[in-house]
Amino acid sequence: MKMTISYAALASACWGVAMTLVVVAPTMAQAQSAAGQMASSRYSPVQQAPTAPVGPPSAETGLKDWKIRLGAGVAYQPEYEGSDEYKVAPLPMLMVSYRDLVFLRGPMLGANAFTWTGAGPNDKLQVGPLVRYQFGRDEDDSDDLRGMGDVDGTVELGGFVTYSTGPWSAGLTVFHDVGNAHDGMTAKLSAGNRMPLAPKLMLRSEISTTWADDNYNEAFFGISAQQAARSGLARYQAQGGFKDAGITFDLDYSLTDHWGVTGRLGYKRLLGDAADSPLVADRGAADQLSTGMFFSYKF
């Protein structure tokens, strides 16, 4: 049994990954805004890849402490959350981690501030802070959104707790808007499994459900009097509650020691006031499918 809290290494790693974020964030945000929900949902602390244990740095192991994966592909997904019309969008991927301390997953930056290691294989509990860019929604994304106006993208702060043992993992992730775009909060509960199918083939699966408060649901699923007049939809006030539940499957195949290809299939069902919104019930669908494929390079 082992507990690790390395604040000096954590601060150093945060600085390194933050500089990476400053350099790549504008490009990633511009590309991922098109990929939307699927790109964001891919990056989850629950399914982090195993990294090297924390220890004192050295010249020999300094470069090995960093794990970097870059990739790109295409996604097929709803035009907006709740839409029944689909689009093809680019799907970029960026994953960086440093010594199991700090990780960058696309638009999300986090740190493993506390780690407890048990006696079993991959038996680990981790807790830490998160910051991410939450993509908004443009009225031009779909004809069904005409008259609804835009929901701006924003920065969200939050935290996570994850537990893994063997091939199984579970976690809770919470975020709150600090950019005054939707002023809401979400909490996602998820559980995942990693199953080797062949020496170079891995199947990853995850089930999840998301709770959202009044402000979040009102921003994305509510319809004000002005929006109703412009869009022709009935006025609707969305309350907080469980917003969705879903399952995703990722199939990873290692082409070489560095190159890999991943296929993804996901299904999500909107729930509660999100599903009852006229944007979904009248113009869209509560059942949301997504799929995609991308190639990646591991340094």
CATH number of the domain enclosing 294: 2.40.230
Predicted pLDDT of residue 43? 62
In whole numbers, what is the pLDDT of the chain averaged over residues? 86
Sign of the dihedral through C-alpha 54, 172, 266, 79: negative
Predicted pLDDT of residue 122? 81
Predicted pLDDT of residue 62? 62
Judged on CB neighbours under 10 Å (0-12, 13-18, 19+), 298 is middle
Predicted pLDDT of residue 40? 52
Predicted pLDDT of residue 249? 98
Predicted pLDDT of residue 171? 98
- Distance CA(43)–CA(203), nearest Å, equals 16
Query: Whose CA is closest to 184, among 268, 245, 267, 243?
Result: 243
Predicted pLDDT of residue 3? 52
Q: Model pTM? A: 0.82
Domain count, the chain: 1
From residue 130, give the alpha-carbon distance in Å to each of 29, 35, 41, 175: 17, 21, 15, 8
Predicted pLDDT of residue 144? 96
Predicted pLDDT of residue 119? 84
Judged on CB neighbours under 10 Å (0-12, 13-18, 19+), 86 is middle
Residues of the chain short of pLDDT 50, as ranges, are 6-35, 48-60
Query: Whose CA is closest to 109, among 92, 130, 127?
Result: 130
Q: How many helices (H) and strands (E) does the chain have?
A: 5, 14
Q: Which residues of 125-158 are buried (b: 16+ CB within 10 A; e: fewer)?
A: ebbbebbbbbbbbbbebbebbeebeebbbbebeb
Which residues form the domain of 132?
A: 2-298
What single DSSP character describes residue 233? Answer: P
